[in-house]
Amino acid sequence: MSEQSGEPPRGAGPHEHAHPDAETYLRVAAALVVLTVLEVGVFYVPAFRPVLVPTLLVLSALKFSLVVLFYMHLKMDSPFFSFLFGAPLLLATGVLVALLFLFFGTLTLRGAAGAG
């Protein structure tokens, strides 16, 4: 993606409104750290065994969203960028879920071992 990397300046000046300040960035970082500690914590606490997978997925989705919304500015940037990212992300997730179903799910009516 070199076309993007270093073309001559187009004079895009500072854009105060569009981006959060350092304080928000720090708060988000703190949240990310807390969530990561939670993730690892949950992993080690036996009591969480039965709900481990959903808990971890939720925590990781939260981290994902924080970075994408604040560090990648999707929250305040043009909604069109959210579409450019969101639509393929939706496809990507759909593909992942569909493949899991096809290989393991009852969709095959043949159980986990059968798909091969």
Partner 1 sequence: MKRWITTTDHKRIGLLYFWTAFCFFLVGGLEALLIRLQLAQPNGHLVSAETYNQLFTMHGTTMVFLALMPLSASFFNYIVPLQIGARDVAFPRLNAFSYWVFLLGGLLLNASWLVGPLFHAPHWNVAPNGGWFGYANLTERQFSPGPNIDFWLLGLQILGISSLAAGFNFIVTILNMRAPGMKMLRVPAFSWMTLVTQFLVITAFPVITVGLVFLMFDRFFGTHFYVATAGATPLLWQHLFWLFGHPEVYILILPAMGIVSEVLPTFARKPLFGYTVVVFSGVLIGFMGWGVWSHHMFAVGLGPIADSVFAGTTMLIAVPTGVKIFNWIATLWGGDIRGSTALHFAVGFIAMFIIGGLSGVTHASPPADLQQTDTYYVVAHIHYVLFGGTVLGLFAGIYYWWPKMTGRLLSEPLGKWHFWLTFVGMNLAFFPMHLIGLLGMPRRIYTYTPELGVSALNLVSTVGAFLIAVAILVFLVNVLRTRTHGRPAPNDPWGGATLEWSIPSPPPVYNFSVIPTVASRLPRWKTERHEPMRDPPAVPPAPIHVPPGSWWPLIAALGLPVLALAPLTHTLWLAFLGAAILLVGIYRWAFEPFEV
Partner 2 sequence: MTHAAATHHTSMGLDSRKMAFWAFIGSECLLFSSLISTYLVYKGRSVVGPSPHEILNIPFTSVSTFDLLMSSLMMVLALAAVQRGDMKWGKIWLFATALLGLVFLGGQVIEFTEFVHKGLTLQTNLFGCTFFVLTGTHGAHVTVGVLWLLTLWVRALQGKLGPGQALTVEITGLYWHFVDVVWIVIFTVVYLIQ
Q: Which does 49 bind (CB under 5 to 8 A by kind): partner 2, partner 1, none?
A: none
How many whole angstroms separate alpha carbon 70 and alpha carbon 41?
25
Would you count residue 9 as binding partner 1 (CB under 8 A)? no
For the bound state, the minimum distance from the C-beta of residue 68 to partner 2, rounded and expressed in Å, comes to 6
From 51, 75, 81, 111, residue interacting with partner 2 (rule: CB under 8 A) = 81
Task: Give the DSSP per-residue string, 26-93.
Answer: HHHHHHHHHHHHHHHHHHH-GGGGGGHHHHHHHHHHHHHHHIIIIIS-TTTS-HHHHHHHHHHHHHHH
Kindly identify the residues of this chain, within the stretch 24-53, that bind partner 2 according to CB under 8 A.
25-26, 28-29, 32-33, 36, 39-40, 43, 52-53
CA distance 115 to 103: 5
Among all chains, which residue has been given the structure tokens 């993730």?
A: 39
Interface contacts to partner 2, rule CB under 8 A: 1, 3-7, 9-19, 21-22, 25-26, 28-29, 32-33, 36, 39-40, 43, 52-53, 56-57, 59-60, 63-64, 67-68, 70-73, 78, 80-81, 84-85, 87-89, 91-93, 95-96, 99-100, 103-104, 116
